[in-house]
Structure 1
Amino acid sequence: MARSDEQNRLARERARENILQAAIEVFSERGVSGASVAEITRRAGVAQGLVSYHFGGKEQLIVAVIDAWFDALFSIPEVSGAADDRLAGIIDGVLMATGYALPVQKVVLAMQQQPATHRLYAEAEDRFHERAIQSEESVRDIFRARGAVDPELEEIMLRGTLEGVLLKFAVYGDTFPLEDARRWMYRLYGIPAPETPLPLELPPRQVPLRLRASGAVRDPQR
């Protein structure tokens, strides 16, 4: 029996999403330069020609990964309520994204820095300019409500601190104390300590605490 137009549409969407997810995995494991379209489509379980059909080629696939990251970043739900509650919600939202979506975070972090992909990242940033402005102003409004002398600098430093946590977690993995970092940031901003930990599967904190890159090594067969 022939498939309906709706079934064909859903199949195309699934194939595109599978390719995108496979690209994130392969880019994370091999780096962008070391990843091939053949490996990505093999991992996705689709024909190699579908990359051209859905994206146009490897560079456009890289762009799609960056765009998906920006879209997810600016879609983190904002907590309502007092300024402290909103600030805590931002901290938790970013740390949750760090814990849940580490492969894509690592991939985009690398793309920000590598000369071959920095241009693509900068172009994507331009495409998301308006959403970035809205996000920045929302955070600056929180600091204005908290009575900050320089809300713009406070927003930049908050973003830099959270990006630093992401970088360290990407490098050191399970040896990085993500929950402790969260509570440290609460203390930094004078926010009451959270009553419950983040809903992430995090190992107990090591004693003594030592950051080791081996904590981020993953068996590709797992």
Structure 2
Amino acid sequence: MPRSSSANKEKRALARQKILAAALRVFAEKGYNGATITEITSRAGVSRGLASYYFPSKHLLVEELLDAYLDGVASIVDIPGGPDERLAAIIDGVLATMMSDLPVQGVILSLVVQPSTHPIFAKVEARKDKRLRLLEDSLRDLFAQRGAADPAVEEIMLRSVLEGVVFKAAVYGRQYPVEQIRGRLYDMYGLPAPRTTLSGAGPAPMGRLRAADRGF
């Protein structure tokens, strides 16, 4: 019995996700330049022909990954509530995502800054300019409501701080004091101290960061 169009569509979507997930793993291990389509298709468990049909080059794989990343960044505008509630939710959302998908976050950041892939990021960013402007305007409005003297600077500062936190956590993994940093961010923005931890457990003791264990 032939598959329905919806079943075929679901199968194609699953194949694409397998390829993208495998690409993230291989990029994490070998970097963009060291990764090959052959290894990515092997990890994904799909044929080279199928992978090439969806993604004829590594360039297009990176473009798709960065496209999804920017969609996630831009979704911040959808958070409801007053300015303080929204700011707290943005901080918690970024930190919670970081803790659940740290290897992915680290790979994406490396793709953003690598000389070989930064031009791809610039291309994707330009394509999503309209949605990113909505994000920027939403954050600037949030800081304007909080009485900031320069909401544009505050928007850039918040995103810079959060991206810096993600970068450091990607380097140091479970050693990184997420809960203490979360509390410091709340304090920096004059927000009420969080009543619970993101993990449900108490903060780990503060140590000295050394690049030994990268996992959460």
With the shorter chain as reference, the TM-score category is over 0.9
Query: Match of 1:6?
Result: 6
Please tell me the residue identity of whatever aligns with 2:46. V
Distance 2:53 2:130 in 1: 29
Query: Match of 1:101?
Result: 101
Please tell me the residue identity of whatever aligns with 1:206. P
SS at match of 2:75: coil
Distance 1:82 1:217 in 2: 35
Matches within 5 A, 1:71-86: 71-76=71-76, 78-86=78-86
**Deviation per residue, 1:71-101 (Å, 9 max, x gap):** 1222246432221111111111111221122
Runs of 4 or more, structure 1, over 4 Å off, are: none
1:116 partnered with 2:116: yes
Task: Report the aligned-residue RMSD.
Answer: 1.8
Once the two structures are TM-superposed, the CA of residue 185 in structure 1 deviates from its matched residue by 0.1
**Deviation per residue, 1:132-168 (Å, 9 max, x gap):** 1110111111110111111111111111111110110
Query: Match of 1:125?
Result: 125
SS at match of 1:65: helix
8 Å contact kept, 2:102–2:215: no
8 Å contact kept, 1:174–1:203: no
Distance 1:158 1:165 in 2: 11
8 Å contact kept, 1:171–1:213: yes
Matches within 5 A, 1:32-43: 32-43=32-43
Please tell me the residue identity of whatever aligns with 2:102. L
Once the two structures are TM-superposed, the CA of residue 119 in structure 1 deviates from its matched residue by 0.4
Distance 1:210 1:203 in 2: 18
Once the two structures are TM-superposed, the CA of residue 58 in structure 1 deviates from its matched residue by 1.5
1:215 partnered with 2:213: yes
The number of equivalent residue pairs is 216
Distance 1:204 1:138 in 2: 32
8 Å contact kept, 2:174–2:215: no
8 Å contact kept, 1:51–1:57: no
8 Å contact kept, 1:78–1:86: no
Any unmatched runs of 5+ in structure 2?
none
Matches within 5 A, 1:118-157: 118-157=118-157
Please tell me the residue identity of whatever aligns with 2:98. T
